[in-house]
């Protein structure tokens, strides 16, 4: 048996790495009855002693412990202690229990949402509106059709309807989301007895109807009528309620843009008609920190009205710094000021087509209303 010294300081034998010798096991190995030792008069070891030695000699080597790779996303997970196999029913039990727990949690949240939806919208607390919004965000049929602002306020117009089995629901006047039970599409040509309960079933999370009255080309595509297959709890958003919500959101956005302009001191004496024209041109944007808005020596890319956050005003001090190790030059900027909420920039640069005398970089996350230069063309 040949031993070699491994570069890392570990010993190697027979292509295996070990830390050293376990002398307790070595002494036990030497005491095997019938084993021929160097200083003994025995001609050879017995076959039984030889077999015992060959089966046990690996125990005298101290080997490094095997490190099990740790999953950073499962900090509390534990490795199974041994290779013991479970029966099919036993191995599936934890999985089924986990799935059952997840399903139970989802049903509990849906039941809480149904309880809140059974109240009139005006009677719901802010906490209930928040929980409804949080739960509705998991339904793709809503997130795909509603804007972020609409989804946040949809609980103010949503109601719940309870339906028994074998009832026809006419979905011509709203959008319906199934929270409990199931339905199947239904047409006037199809009788209740002819409906196949196993085909085209719409279950929890499914929907029918629409947020707005469908156009002529969409009327045949959208499912308008359904037949309940079991008792159902269905969330309803009426066409009239959704139209009213859209108007309210538009009014809120317009009021926000109008107050944004009026809050800037350059516009305090402006007439309302002129402010209204600018408010219709504003687009709201959220920008991250350290985002360059304006470059010194360039015409501003837009007019901006800051609603939240702060920006640095930077200016080149016209000093070129050279080092022997560097090629070229480096421009040094210094902070000469800050811009905060209810302040604007870019108007003079765009209207007079003049380069900006400074750079503007976001200091924090910033919410701004911007007007593109093209939108200002032809405006007095």
CATH number at residue 320: 2.60.120.10
Instruction: Examine the domain organization and report whether 165 and 230 are in the same domain.
Output: yes
Q: Please indicate, yes or no, whether residues 291 and 361 belong to a single structural domain of this protein.
A: yes
By CB atoms closer than 10 A (0-12, 13-18, 19+), residue 262 is: middle
**Residue 294 belongs to a domain:** yes
pLDDT at 24: 77
The DSSP result for 164-229, as a single string, is -TT-EEE-TTEEEEEEES-EEE--TTS-TTTS-TTSS-B-TT-EEE-SSPPPTTTTTTS--EEEES
Amino acid 32: pLDDT: 74
Query: Are residue 148 and residue 192 in the same domain, yes or no?
Result: yes
Tell me the chain's radius of gyration from C-alpha atoms.
38
Residue 230, φ and ψ in degrees, nearest 5: -165, 170
Rounded CA gap, 261 and 345, in Å?
12
pLDDT at 222: 65
Task: Supply the pLDDT for residue 231.
Answer: 94
> CA-to-CA distance for 57 and 81, rounded, in angstroms?
26
**Are residue 234 and residue 117 in the same domain, yes or no?**
yes
pLDDT at 26: 74
| pTM as predicted | 0.59
Q: What is the predicted pLDDT for the residue at 39? A: 53
Token pair 């006419």 is at which residue?
170
Lowest mean pLDDT: which of 145-149, 209-213, 319-323, 332-336? Answer: 319-323
Q: Identify whether 49 is part of a domain.
A: yes
Confidence band for 99, pLDDT divided at 50, 70 and 90: very low
Q: Kindly report which listed range (22-36, 78-92, 156-170, 294-308) carries the lowest average pLDDT score.
A: 78-92
d(CA 169, CA 234): 10
Does 107 map to a domain?
no
Q: Which domain holds residue 159?
A: 113-243
Task: Tell me which of 23, 47, 62 is where a domain ends.
Answer: 62
Question: 103-107, 129-133, 134-138, 270-274: which has the minimum mean pLDDT?
Answer: 103-107
User: Helix, strand or coil for residue 128?
Assistant: helix
Nearest to 345 by CA among 365, 375, 369, 378: 369
Mean predicted confidence (pLDDT) in 99-119: 76
In a domain, 76, yes or no: no
DSSP string, 17-33: EE-EE-HHHHHHHHT-T
Determine the 3-state secondary structure of 274 from DSSP: helix
Domain shared by 239 and 286, yes or no: no
Instruction: Determine the pLDDT at residue 30.
Output: 77
Among the three residues 21, 47, 62, which one is the final residue of a domain in this structure?
62
Q: Is the pLDDT of residue 34 over 80?
A: no
**How many angstroms separate the CA atoms of 147 and 103, rounded?**
28
What is the model's pLDDT at position 109?
84
Q: Are 234 and 118 part of one and the same domain?
A: yes
Q: Do 236 and 271 sit in the same domain of this protein?
A: no
Which among 111, 224, 228 is positioned nearest to 181, based on CA atoms?
Answer: 228
Does position 179 have pLDDT exceeding 90, yes or no? yes
Do residue 123 and residue 234 come from a single domain?
A: yes
Does 100 reside within a domain? no
For the chain, give the percent of residues with pLDDT over 90. 42
Alpha-carbon separation of residue 109 from 51, 125, 288 (angstroms): 66, 17, 34
Query: Of the ranges 79-88, 104-113, 299-308, which one carries the lowest mean pLDDT score?
Result: 79-88
Q: Are 225 and 185 in contact (CB under 8 A)?
A: yes
117 and 191 both lie in a single domain: yes
Residue 356 lies in a domain: yes
Q: In total, how many domains does the chain have? A: 3
pLDDT value of position 74: 39
Q: Are 66 and 16 within 8 A, CB to CB?
A: no
The Cα–Cα gap between 195 and 214 comes to 25
- Lowest pLDDT segment from 132-136, 182-186, 223-227: 223-227
Question: Residue 345 — φ and ψ, nearest 5°?
Answer: -160, 160
Q: What's the average model confidence in pLDDT over 350-366?
A: 92
Is residue 117 assigned to a domain? yes
pLDDT digits (tens, 9 = 90+) for 134-145: 999 999 999 999
Shared domain for 57 and 130, answered yes or no, is no
| For range 77-94, the mean pLDDT | 39
Summarize pLDDT for 322-339 with one digit per residue, the tens: 454 555 555 577 888 999
Select from 217, 180, 219 the least CA-distant residue to 202: 180
**Is residue 207 located within the same domain as residue 274?**
no
Half-sphere exposure of 306 (CA within 13 A, CB side): 23
Domain end marker among 62, 77, 102:
62
* pLDDT at position 245: 94
- Residue range 271-281, pLDDT digits in tens: 989 999 999 99
Residues 159, 44, single domain; the answer is: no
Contact 341, 307 (CB under 8 A): yes
101 is a domain residue = no
């Amino acid at each position: 048996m040949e031993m070699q010294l491994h570069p890392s300081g570990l010993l190697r034998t027979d292509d295996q790495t070990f830390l050293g010798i376990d002398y307790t096991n070595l002494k036990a190995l030497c005491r095997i009855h019938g084993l021929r030792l160097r200083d003994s008069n025995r001609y050879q070891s017995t076959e039984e002693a030889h077999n015992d030695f060959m089966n046990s000699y690996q125990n005298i080597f101290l080997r490094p412990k095997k490190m099990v790779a740790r999953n950073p996303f499962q900090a509390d997970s534990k490795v199974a202690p041994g290779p013991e196999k479970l029966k099919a029913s036993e191995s599936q039990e934890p999985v089924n229990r986990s799935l059952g727990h997840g399903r139970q949690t989802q049903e509990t949240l849906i039941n809480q949402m149904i309880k809140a939806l059974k109240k009139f919208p005006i009677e719901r607390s802010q906490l209930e509106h928040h929980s409804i919004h949080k739960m509705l965000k998991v339904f793709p049929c809503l997130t795909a059709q509603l804007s972020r602002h609409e989804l946040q306020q949809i609980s103010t117009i949503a109601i719940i309807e309870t339906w028994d089995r074998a009832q026809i629901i006419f979905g011509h006047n709203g959008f319906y989301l199934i929270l409990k039970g199931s339905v199947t599409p239904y047409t006037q040509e199809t009788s209740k007895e002819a409906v196949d309960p196993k085909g085209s079933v719409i279950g929890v999370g499914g929907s029918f109807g629409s947020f707005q009255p469908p156009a002529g080309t969409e009327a045949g595509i959208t499912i308008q009528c359904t037949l309940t297959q079991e008792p159902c709890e269905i969330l309803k958003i009426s066409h009239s309620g959704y139209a009213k919500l859209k108007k309210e959101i538009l009014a809120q956005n317009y009021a926000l843009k109008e107050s944004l302009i009026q809050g800037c001191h350059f516009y305090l004496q402006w007439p309302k008609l002129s402010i209204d024209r600018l408010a219709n041109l504003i687009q709201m944007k959220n920008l991250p920190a350290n985002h360059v808005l304006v470059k010194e020596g360039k015409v501003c890319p837009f007019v901006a009205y800051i609603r939240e956050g702060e920006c640095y005003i930077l200016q080149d001090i016209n000093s070129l710094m050279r080092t022997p190790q560097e090629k070229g030059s480096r421009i040094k900027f210094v902070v000469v000021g800050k811009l905060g909420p209810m302040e604007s920039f870019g108007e003079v640069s765009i209207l007079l087509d003049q380069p900006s005398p400074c750079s503007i970089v976001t200091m924090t996350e910033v919410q701004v209303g911007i007007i593109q230069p093209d939108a200002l063309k032809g405006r007095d």
